[in-house]
């Protein structure tokens, strides 16, 4: 058997339980080929065999494929808007705010939310933050709550001193903040989105998906929001026609569910 790239992609999708055809093909191909080079794998047949038989390779394949870059308060202007405009509205309206950080990576994003709510004196019983990612490995890192300087470079030094303790070159998050996040594995391509969310963050993951899949996911995210709930996207992830998804653009990367 000599597999071409597309045959490999479809077979590998079954082995790793991620539909690779939903991702932008050029990027998938580039990343798979670079991993094969690194492991001295000559063809797709061999690569598939390795995926099936070598657990360590499968792990490397998955982490090479999912880019986990994140940081606390990524795109500060948007987080300022969240803290000053969105959270106060939600706090006034709801007894308990339901928040979902989808594709949360190493936890910097959901922990940023918990820090902000603490700064706004919102009691833990008045909010719930669910944080999900497809990558179990990164979720394990997230649960540890230990970060490098790079992760906190956008954070005000007062906040760093208040919420992190420093050990050697690591920043250890306050356990009180850590406890406020409920992490779980979730695949945006096939798992259920739930309903009644007041705020969903789905940031810097659309860039990897095809246009059709991005469209489908946007509709599902919108449907999962409560009326007047917010969808908070990444800085470069604009919706050209938000009304198509029953969303109104409110500010920069914030969209509000209109019905």
Is there binding between residue 181 and ligand SAM (CB under 6 A)?
no
d(CA 46, CA 33): 12
Nearest CB to ligand SAM, comparing residues 161 and 185: 185
104: tokens are 């949360």
Binding region for ligand SAM (CB under 6 A) out of 61-69, 92-100, 140-148, 161-169: 61-69
Starting at the edge strand found earlier in the chain, the sheet holding 247-251 runs 181-185, 127-133, 97-102, 197-202, 225-233, 254-257, 247-251
CB of 211 to ligand SAM, least distance (A): 16
Nearest CB to ligand SAM, comparing residues 27 and 179: 27
Tell the residue number behind the tokens 């969903």, with chain if given: 200
Neighbours of 171 (CB within 10 A): 20
CB of 159 to ligand SAM, least distance (A): 17
Instruction: Name residues contacting ligand SAM, limited to 33-52 (CB under 6 A).
Output: none
| Cα dist from 184 to 41, 69, 112, 153, 188, whole Å | 33, 18, 17, 26, 12
Is there binding between residue 66 and ligand SAM (CB under 6 A)?
yes
Nearest CB to ligand SAM, comparing residues 69 and 223: 69
Nearest CB to ligand SAM, comparing residues 45 and 216: 216
Binding region for ligand SAM (CB under 6 A) out of 53-61, 134-142, 169-177, 240-248: 134-142
167: left (phi over 0), alpha (psi -120 to 50) or beta: beta
Starting at the edge strand found earlier in the chain, the sheet holding 164-167 runs 146-147, 170-173, 164-167
Is there binding between residue 188 and ligand SAM (CB under 6 A)?
yes
Nearest CB to ligand SAM, comparing residues 109 and 198: 109
Binding region for ligand SAM (CB under 6 A) out of 31-39, 62-70, 81-89, 148-156: 62-70
Cβ distance 124 to 96 under 8 Å? no
Is there binding between residue 151 and ligand SAM (CB under 6 A)?
no
Nearest CB to ligand SAM, comparing residues 105 and 130: 105
Instruction: List the alpha helices (DSSP H) in the chain.
Output: 5-16, 25-38, 44-53, 55-65, 76-81, 87-93, 108-119, 136-144, 157-163, 175-178, 211-224
d(CA 19, CA 217): 14
Collapsing DSSP to helix, strand or coil, 121 comes out as coil
Is there binding between residue 134 and ligand SAM (CB under 6 A)?
yes
Is there binding between residue 103 and ligand SAM (CB under 6 A)?
yes
Is there binding between residue 198 and ligand SAM (CB under 6 A)?
no
Nearest CB to ligand SAM, comparing residues 66 and 130: 66
Residues of this chain that interact with ligand SAM (CB under 6 A) are 66-70, 74, 103-105, 109, 133-135, 138, 186-189, 203-205, 234
């Amino acid at each position: 058997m000599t597999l071409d790239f597309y045959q490999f992609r479809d077979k590998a999708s079954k082995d790793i339980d991620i539909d690779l055809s939903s991702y932008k093909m050029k990027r998938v191909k580039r990343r798979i080929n670079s991993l094969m080079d690194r492991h001295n794998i000559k063809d797709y047949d061999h690569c598939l065999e390795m995926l099936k038989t070598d657990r360590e390779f499968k792990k490397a394949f998955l982490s090479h494929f999912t880019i986990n870059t994140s940081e606390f308060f990524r795109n500060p202007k948007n987080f300022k808007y969240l803290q000053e405009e969105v959270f106060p509205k939600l706090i006034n309206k709801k007894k308990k705010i339901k928040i979902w950080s989808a594709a949360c990576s190493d936890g910097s994003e959901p922990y940023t939310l918990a820090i902000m709510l603490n700064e706004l004196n919102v009691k833990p019983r008045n909010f719930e933050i669910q944080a999900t990612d497809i990558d179990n490995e990164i979720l394990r890192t997230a649960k540890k709550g230990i970060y490098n300087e790079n992760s906190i470079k956008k954070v005000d030094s007062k906040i760093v001193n208040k919420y992190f303790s420093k050990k050697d070159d690591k920043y250890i998050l306050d356990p009180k903040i850590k406890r406020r996040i409920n992490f779980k594995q979730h695949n945006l391509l096939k798992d259920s989105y739930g309903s009644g969310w007041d705020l969903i963050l789905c940031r810097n993951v659309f860039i990897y998906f095809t246009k059709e899949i991005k469209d489908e996911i946007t509709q599902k995210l919108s449907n999962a929001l409560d009326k007047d709930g917010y969808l908070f996207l990444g800085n470069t992830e604009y919706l050209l026609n938000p009304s198509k998804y029953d969303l109104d653009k409110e500010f920069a990367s914030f969209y509000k569910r209109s019905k």
